[in-house]
A and B are shown apart, each in its own frame.
Chain A
């Protein structure tokens, strides 16, 4: 059964109910007590997101300082339930203009009740597209001061659009200037052994789009991916142009993309929602350009002293630079004193996370700054167990660089009125979980 929920609760960290909505009669109104006593107040919390208590099952997720708990008593579709929560939170955020936390919920509880009534019926998720819901649920959320424009007048034929085949875009949009912004955001996940062997490496990328386009435009996106290019040259019976092609391991698309067409023609064509959305996600494991190499040497000198040397090498073009680089180098709990020298940036010892934190605000390409530190430890006789050495973790952002090498080849916009469109493309690569064992 694709039922996703019999009841939904929003709780704060103390377990107080912020919002509750019962969709079905098969769970009691006081189920949240069971959740509190059997999960929240025990060590269970956080050990498993799906839990059976008595005849009911609980699925829960923590988002900022709020627990969202779903209760069911049937064999519900768990994947559907979690995805519903994720989407609902995104919807609320778009109404509140950003944050989703306890205060935002309290400030908007009437709106949330109204939305909850609309986005799920008898436990079945309905339309959750913010664009469409904003047509007829026009209560404004309490927005943060920096949020954008106010909602417009309700549209008379809202109901047709909710249920329409293009259930994510309303008709009759008009912009003076037609613009599309494309952001290609990649996160690099890396796990490297202490000897510099890549154990696991992949890139998860997403293409974020911001559309300000009039009417009902048809869009077509071309990337330098291998399959798409091959198919194209096949269709046009023309040899593939030389240049780098990328092999995508997997792609997933926003619901606006015609999947059947993608399957047969390998083209990404769609009618976009208005405003901001995530067009597609992809994953790449082959041929990843790692932006940084990290070479650590950590020596334990006896029981009380450690020598740490870390060299970080940027391997992207010399004209580019990375921003917000943070390198967290773990040290043992019983660290007493640290002293270090760095050739670039600043470093300090953070006792709360047992790490040396080395920050470099602007990190040019083709450079290799180093950190060398001496760590003194409190000698403890009782500690028989040796230090477990967690991995070095790294954070960064490299603008105008894609670890995968993916490029947008074209974005065609076609609308019957035949207007001209301005397209903007940006690339950025971030660290996902970038870990180097030491």
Chain B
């Protein structure tokens, strides 16, 4: 029988659907079967064949198993869109679930569980009950998974009908596959529930470990994964468990091996005997290495996991570094991960071999890989003191090849090496300076400049070298400008001769007058002030001894590492992120426990990536070392008094900040305090009135002179906000104030670069210098008045947007007290209430809003009214705005 299904994809020109309809109702079996195949083919290529629903369902009652399966497949896809018609299929399902053929019984239950229509679910319970007790293990194993499906649709129903108990009974089933599926189902249900449902006692543990021997490979994975969270009571029990799991390491299935490794690593924490631990490490190494001969994708997963494992147990693979040498034809993602592990395993014993490899990689074709190889040499130098000199000589050899990106990368890492071993390897500076003019990447330039500044006293022509950079100062990126500024100051302090003095004038002028970068300006003012008041103090500050860095940049925090090791083989271990950092749809009940882990206000981000936090010590090897770390000011915070002081306005700090009687309306946040503004205090906020955005401003003159001639300018910003007209403020007499509403327009002066909610404002008047302050743009002022949506439109929009456009965030400390008040509050900001539903003990609210240019925004809030914790999910065609949307919603809910 030679058959070729591809013919079903070919279409006839004239009306396809009516033709199919006709064929589906044909009296001939074969014709009907062919027609259903055509329908499935059409469904696969994305055509909408839902209108054939009744006709397809009519073919369901058939003896032909193949045809039945096709109809079921169709039902899984379209039942949701035709819930009323889906009921037509129920009878057949129920009948099939009692068929004498176990394959059909199982098929019916399996398919019913995939149809998420309430009406069908009601009818599923009885057949499911029967099937859980079926004589045939094939039916039971299918029913076990079906309980998990039902729990996902309606958890209460599962609990009410006692399915959980039946499922637990299946753990003692005599068929291993039934046991494995029951374990998988229970583990999943437990994951989504806050109540203890599936608790592993030492009794179940031992029963399941016995079942391991007889399970299919996948069943072994289910069981090992479920058991990996079991906490052994003492070292002896742990050793026992490990002994029974170790044989799994020899399995050909990589998933079984990784799950076994996960379980062994967990139990090892409890084992005290060093002999046992050493022995286990020895046993785990070969299987891990063998994973590297699998398909490259599996290698990648294995390598990401090995990366975690060697951080916890470096001895396991200490002698296996050779297997991580890159093959020429390895895919780039495998090479990059191998490199990372090679750095971790590099030791005084193998460094010579490793360096030879790195050097070889540094001459390959792929630029990213080459850069990483060069960086790897630097990191080895920082890690292994005794090998540092050899590493440097390899770097110097590479610099001599004169491949531009190799040279630049080498200079970046040499800067780090200087910070790790100060006053040791400065003799190579001369060689570095030879490549000065080839540098064109900001990081490399900045590194080179740092080196020149730091060692200015040893470089005879340091002033000439720096001067060559100064010509292009205004065009340089911020990173380079900051380094140039600091390096010039260092040079001046070390060699206070005429040349450097002129240079410093030029730099300070440039950095204070010609720039709109507040970081640069602030730093320049600090230096200026320091130099002019107390050069000795300047020396103490700028030339202070820097702490020595260590290479821990790529090691994870122990608590995070613990969490990741529990998740070996899963996505979490591949991303090196805890699961809740990327699983956005955590189920409602699971959410609660997560909130407990993170006390109010703290964000999960901060624990995931401590290196970027403001509190991290300045020792990370990849921060450009600066004598004075520029602390980026928090948004919307008043400009610190320091600046006013530095600018030499001695009396300004004496001016009392007395709160003037504010006119009606809510108080506006103070953006320029009187102490900074020489007595001028400015409060402002963006607001929306009558469908337009305004900048509501309050000017208070606490100085001794009348102020006039006010003008305002907004810097380029993400939303392109700009003033729609001139600022109209009359002359302000001392002690008086004025309010104004400045109309604003959007999309005028858009900034490129990453989106940011910072609005930089410059304001001047005829009497004072120009004032700069930062405001934070609150996104809700942009929501337009026509954002209300019909329920149907809402649903349709929600559905039409891909899931990748959905983002969610938790506000753990927010409480929604009154529903009506919240709805009203949001409505004033043009966020409109659509619907509300109850999900278990939680309320889910739906809102719609519209952003400028007619972009719709759909919001879902999930909370328990009166209790802290709100989960906010948004869906919009432009998810890149989500960060602002969350900020806006959070602010609104807090107020």
Which A residues are within 8 Å of any B CB, using their own CB? Answer: 1-3, 16-20, 22-28, 30-31, 33-34, 38, 46-50, 52-57, 59, 61, 72-80, 82-84, 86, 103, 106-111, 113-114, 117, 121-122, 124-129, 136, 139-140, 142, 158-160, 162-165, 167, 189, 191, 193, 199-200, 202, 204, 249-255, 258-260, 262-263, 278, 280-281, 283, 384-386, 388-391, 393, 433, 435, 437
Contact = CB atoms under 8 A, between A and B. Distances in A.
Most A-side CB within 10 Å, residue of B3, B152, B567: B3
Interface string B237-255: 0000000001110111111
A163 B570 contact: no
Contacts of B76: 22
B221 interface: yes
Most B-side CB within 10 Å, residue of A75, A167, A200, A281: A75
A401 B297 CA distance: 31
Contacts of B298: 79, 82-83, 86
B4 A107 contact: yes
Contacts of B255: 2, 77, 79-80, 83
B807 A107 contact: no
Contact of B567 (A75, A117, A164): A75
Given A27-B803, A106-B5, A162-B138, A47 B333 contact: yes
Contacts of B425: none
Interface string B107-140: 0001001101000000000000000000011110
A102 to B, nearest CB: 10
Nearest to A437: B360
Given A50-B571, A109-B41, A250-B286, A386 B401 contact: yes
Contacts of A31: 802-804
A20 B252 CA distance: 28
A121 B182 CA distance: 13
A215 to B, nearest CB: 20
Given A55-B806, A57-B571, A283-B289, A262 B247 contact: yes
B551 to A, nearest CB: 24
Most B-side CB within 10 Å, residue of A79, A121, A140: A79
B44 A17 contact: yes
A380 B753 CA distance: 39
A158 B138 CA distance: 9
B247 A165 contact: no
B827 interface: no
A252 B572 CA distance: 26
Contact of A25 (B116, B246, B286): B116
B583 A74 contact: yes
Given A108-B5, A114-B66, A250-B286, A72 B333 contact: no
A200 B802 contact: no
B177 A163 contact: yes
13 contacts: A20-B44, A49-B300, A50-B301, A74-B583, A75-B567, A75-B570, A76-B571, A78-B573, A80-B255, A117-B110, A129-B216, A159-B138, A253-B251
B687 interface: no
A216 to B, nearest CB: 15
Interface in B85-125: 102-103, 106, 110, 113-114, 116
B66 A110 contact: yes
Nearest to A49: B297
A436 B569 CA distance: 34
Given A73-B583, A73-B585, A75-B570, A200 B247 contact: no
A200 B218 contact: no
Contacts of B575: 50, 52
Contacts of B222: 2, 124
Interface string B355-385: 0110010011100000000000000000000
Interface residues of B, number: 121
B218 A80 contact: yes
Contacts of B322: 199-200
The 6 closest A-B pairs by CB, nearest first: A54-B804, A250-B286, A159-B138, A55-B584, A75-B579, A259-B247
B66 A163 contact: no
Contacts of A80: 218, 221, 255, 569
Contacts, number: 302
B622 to A, nearest CB: 21
A121 B145 contact: yes
A283 B255 CA distance: 19
A106 B3 CA distance: 12
B250 A252 contact: yes
Contacts of A433: 327-329
A260 B331 CA distance: 36
Contacts of B287: 250, 252
Contacts of A25: 116, 152
Contacts of A111: 5
A185 to B, nearest CB: 13
A49 B301 CA distance: 9
A82 B290 contact: no
A254 B250 CA distance: 9
B227 to A, nearest CB: 11
Contacts of B570: 1, 75-78
Contacts of B323: 200, 202
B138 A160 contact: yes
B283 to A, nearest CB: 10
B178 interface: yes
Contacts of A108: 5
Given A1-B187, A252-B290, A73 B402 contact: no
Contact of A78 (B44, B116, B571): B571
A107 B5 CA distance: 4
B276 interface: no
Interface in B223-243: 225-226
A178 to B, nearest CB: 25
Contacts of B106: 159
Given A106-B9, A142-B4, A163-B177, A83 B44 contact: no
Given A163-B177, A262-B250, A249 B289 contact: yes
A191 B357 CA distance: 11
Nearest to B569: A79
B392 interface: no
Contacts of A82: 254, 295, 297-298, 301
Contacts of B476: none
A336 B447 CA distance: 42
Contacts of A384: 402-403
Nearest to A150: B1
Given A49-B297, A160-B136, A283-B286, 16 more contacts: A17-B44, A31-B803, A54-B802, A54-B803, A122-B148, A122-B149, A139-B66, A159-B136, A159-B138, A200-B323, A200-B325, A249-B286, A253-B252, A281-B290, A390-B365, A433-B327
Given A59-B297, A163-B178, A52 B250 contact: no
A59 B571 CA distance: 10
Interface string B273-301: 00000000000001101100101111011
A386 B363 CA distance: 9
A38 B805 CA distance: 12
Interface string B335-360: 00000000000000000010011001
